Amino acid sequence: MQTRGPKACRVRWLERATVWVLPALLMWAPCRAQSPHQVPLVDRLIVTTSIASESQGDYEAVKVFGDLTATSFKLTVSGEAPDDSGELREITVSRWVLREDWRNARIMRRRFHEYDARQFPGTTPEFPAVGVNEIRAQGSTHITYLEIESEFGATVISRTMSGAVARIATGPTEMSVLVNGQPQALRVLHVAGRLADDGDGDDFDYWVLDDPDNPLILRGKGPGFSSEVTRIEFPQPSTAPTSLERALTEDKHALVYGIYFKFARADIRPVSEPVLKEIAALLKKNPSWKLSIVGHTDSIGGDKANLDLSRRRAQSVRAALVERYGIEAERLTSGGYGASQPQAKNDSAENRSRNRRVELTRQ
């Protein structure tokens, strides 16, 4: 067995934590009949997966879809990974996905590395769209799964497993996910089956967004992995019921989930910039507004540590708005409540994800 250095360990963790999950604007609305898309494939679609750890806390891997054209789009995955010393480092990798492959490829390549090529023609990073259509029509489909391993600074396909997966339930199936800050019951296809190569196989179980235009894997289990999407964000018009502008204008209060912090720290991750920019733009558009910024955590860890962390995270948001976006410091206050005001029970990765948030209140 080879000895893996810090970089290999970080990449290996990122494989498990991200790419298993871990893509005219058609927006989600309370009435499903208004749009066939529950989650549209658009620029700045962000899909977050929490890798649950009840003793240490949940690591979050974030996928961002961007640079959409008629022929391709870019998928960027970032996550934090511990190296051999235990230090957490953020790793960000990207790949280009061809629209033709997104529509028609049956081969799933879920893993990719920072030293890989940027395209994998003939493969898809999510569930095959053609498979969604076949499951809808006949209840099953045939797919191929590439198991990727890291060896000596390169990737190899260790197994190519193929087989049929079939729908578990014939009626409508739903899965709760936090979509633009609100719990939503998304329509999904629950499929399972055994994929094998040369007689050696493994069982796979997927909950797939029921949309051939955007067949995201929301929950998955297979050899050596188990993952679940906990949050999804995408741009909304300012008049949308869940938009930040509407919440602050009408209710003077908003829950913000699109600000990401490093694991157990107050450092803001780069993927948070679009939300910070949106908050700053609203403050500049409404010069009379003053905001209270309050941080909240889940219950993992001690009360004292969580209270301190929530306060430091709120202060980091305040500092970013002042220093990077030129908002007057006197218009912003910050504070934190730790885990004392949960939105949900802290009994699952999904619920803990709901509790980790920033709240904005107009004063």
Q: Give the 3-state secondary structure of residue 137.
A: helix
What tens digit of pLDDT does each residue of 14-34 get?
Answer: 444 443 333 333 333 333 333
- pTM confidence score: 0.82
pLDDT over 70, % of the chain: 85
Per-residue pLDDT band for 351 (boundaries 50, 70, 90) equals confident
In the chain, the amino acid numbered 322 is V
For 230-272, write each residue's pLDDT tens digit: 999 999 888 887 789 999 999 999 999 999 998 889 999 999 9
Q: Tell the burial category of 24 from Cβ atoms under 10 Å away from its Cβ (0-12, 13-18, 19+).
A: exposed
- 30-50 tens-digit pLDDT: 333 334 579 999 999 999 987
pLDDT of amino acid 116: 82
Q: What domains appear along the chain, each with residue ranges and CATH number?
A: 6-233 (no CATH), 244-362 (3.30.1330.60)
Alpha-carbon distance 309 to 296, whole Å?
A: 8
Tokens of 354: 């709901």
